[in-house]
Amino acid sequence: MARSPLQPPDAYRAAIRTIEAERERELRQTFGYGRPFFVSLFAVLNIALFAGMEIAGSSTDAETLIRFGAKENGRILQGEGWRLITAMFLHVGLIHLLVNTVALLFVGGAVERIFGRWRFFAVYVAAGVAGTAASFAFTPALSAGASGAIFGLMGALLYFGTRRRRLFVRTMGRDLLFYLLLNLLLGLVLPSVDHYGHLGGLLGGFLAAGAVGLPGERRLSARLGFALAWGMLVVGALRLGGL
């Protein structure tokens, strides 16, 4: 009787090797699209501005924060809309800077590898603007920090999860959801945390990720819809805040 070239368990081993090779190829393609560049650039910028504030006065001093571009509702109402961007690069105290820089390097590194350099840049800035706008709408407190943009990066990973569900669950899904939930809960119980900025950044990042899309993702009408929704979120928050 002739024997087939592959009999169990050889056939099973070959099948397993094929599956593992396919998974490895999928991981390389997904998480190797871009190499972190803006993540490092933004981290250096955050540190440089923090050092500048410490030299000019103190990063915990309100006047110094306002001078460097923190979110201050009265100034925004007077036309200083650029604070919606500059506030995301300033930090109040060394612990605030360290926590956000570590989060940026870890979460941002994953996002920039998945989305690529320029999509990451767009998502980060768009999420930061949305976070600052939400803070402007719901709290008069002076605020600054990359937290809104970082929550936006988590929103981008959630968007990735809606498009590549099995890979998301297999690689990062549970850890990301736990980390996100933990930080949202901390934002609700700690009085110094701007949870409105966090929520605005999270939603803004999700919408911005949908607008730029994953590499190779066309879906032009859906992306335009996400971009429109992001615009409505920011404009609505600014109008709610009095602009």
Angle formed at CA 132 by CA 128 and CA 137, multiple of 5 degrees: 145
Q: What angle do CA 117, 219, 111 make, to 5 degrees?
A: 25
CA distance 84 to 95: 22
Give 158's DSSP letter. H
Which residues, 6 or more positions from 67, have their beta carbon under 8 angstroms from its beta carbon? 56, 57
- 40 flagged as catalytic: no
The type of residue at 123 is V
Catalytic, 198? Answer yes
**Out of 91, 96, 147, 195, which one is annotated catalytic?**
147
Q: Which of 168, 172, 215 is nearest to 223 (CA)?
A: 215
Q: Residues 197, 100: contact at Cβ < 8 Å?
A: no
The separation between CA 228 and the C-alpha centre of its own chain, rounded to angstroms, equals 19
What residues pair up with 71 in beta bridges, in sequence order? 143
How many Å apart are CA 150 and CA 214, to the nearest integer?
18
Closest CA to 200 of 79, 88, 53: 88
Question: Are 68 and 129 contacting, i.e. CB atoms less than 8 angstroms apart?
Answer: no
Catalytic residues: 147, 198
